[in-house]
């Protein structure tokens, strides 16, 4: 594996974690069972979805870095809801276009409801046809070590763009929240969309 095979550090990190998982994983003897998440009870579906993934093998990587997302699709006509669960090792967060923002603003943008209309309409299992729908995605299970990828690169018809340097200030915390993380390291990109270089800063014993 060569560095030039990966255009962004995010892709390299995912490939590295994936390779380490494959080398370290401990497979289970039983094959995973297939479940219908749209009809199963919510709590049961969540646990079974996680068990399905775990049945393919666990490793130190899954123990430390793996979390779980929940996405809910809701039909605009009959209000039928379908839940889907998937695992993640690196959480990609959209970044507000300008200004200084707390990291919580990126999480809010990530979990903002999305309206599926036009060509994006969802085929509702209850209506048996394509309907406008609302999609909500959120974090269902947090990992021990949370890796956050700030999506500074965006794409449109004009090409690829990079969000200007951001100032986050205090990462922010809402009243009543119990889960806390301590910043371990940061990987930075300097340059343009065409070239540049990466640097890394690690927190070693509080320094």
Average confidence (pLDDT) over 30-58: 56
CA 79 to CA 186: how far, in whole Å?
Answer: 42
According to CATH, what is the number of the domain 3-202?
3.90.70.10
Residue 170 has, within 13 A of its CA and on its CB side, a CA count of: 3
For 117-134, the pLDDT digits (tens) are 999 999 999 999 999 999
Q: What is the H or E stretch that residue 42 is in? A: helix 42-54
Looking at mean pLDDT, say which of 27-36, 51-60, 91-100, 119-128 comes out highest: 119-128
CA 198 to CA 94: how far, in whole Å?
Answer: 20
Asked whether the predicted pLDDT for residue 114 surpasses 60, the reply is yes
Q: Which of 143, 140, 147, 134 is nearest to 70 (CA)?
A: 140
DSSP conformation letters of 154-203: EEETTEEEEPPP----S----TT--------EEEEEEE-SS-EEEEEEE-
For residues 94 and 52, which has the higher predicted lDDT (pLDDT)?
94
For 157-184, the pLDDT digits (tens) are 776 666 665 665 555 566 666 668 888 8
For residues 106 and 7, which has the higher predicted lDDT (pLDDT)?
106
- Determine the pLDDT at residue 6: 35
- Determine the pLDDT at residue 148: 92
How far is residue 33 from each of residues 18, 55, 69, measured CA to CA in Å? 23, 9, 20
Asked whether the predicted pLDDT for residue 39 surpasses 60, the reply is no
For 77-110, the pLDDT digits (tens) are 999 999 888 889 999 998 877 666 678 888 889 9
In sequence order, what are the beta bridge partners of 72? 83, 136
- For 1, other C-beta atoms within 10 Å of its C-beta total 9
């Amino acid at each position: 594996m060569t560095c030039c095979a990966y255009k962004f550090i995010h892709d390299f990190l995912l490939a590295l974690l994936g390779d380490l998982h494959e080398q370290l994983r401990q497979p289970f003897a039983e094959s995973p069972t297939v479940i219908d998440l749209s009809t199963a009870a919510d709590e049961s579906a969540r646990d079974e979805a996680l068990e399905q993934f775990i049945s393919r093998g666990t490793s130190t990587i899954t123990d430390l870095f793996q979390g779980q997302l929940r996405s809910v699709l809701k039909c605009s006509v009959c209000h039928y809801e379908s839940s889907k669960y998937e695992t993640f090792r690196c959480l990609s967060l959209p970044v507000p276009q300008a200004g200084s923002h707390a990291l919580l603003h990126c999480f809010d943008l990530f979990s903002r409801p999305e309206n599926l209309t036009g060509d994006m309409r969802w085929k509702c299992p209850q209506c048996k046809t394509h309907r406008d729908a609302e999609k909500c995605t959120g974090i269902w299970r947090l990992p021990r070590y949370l890796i956050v990828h700030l999506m500074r690169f965006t794409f449109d018809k004009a090409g690829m763009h990079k969000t200007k340097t951001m100032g986050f200030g205090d990462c922010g915390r809402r009243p009543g929240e119990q889960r806390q993380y301590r910043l371990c390291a940061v990987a930075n990109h300097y340059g343009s969309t065409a070239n540049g270089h990466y640097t890394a800063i690690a927190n070693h014993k509080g320094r």
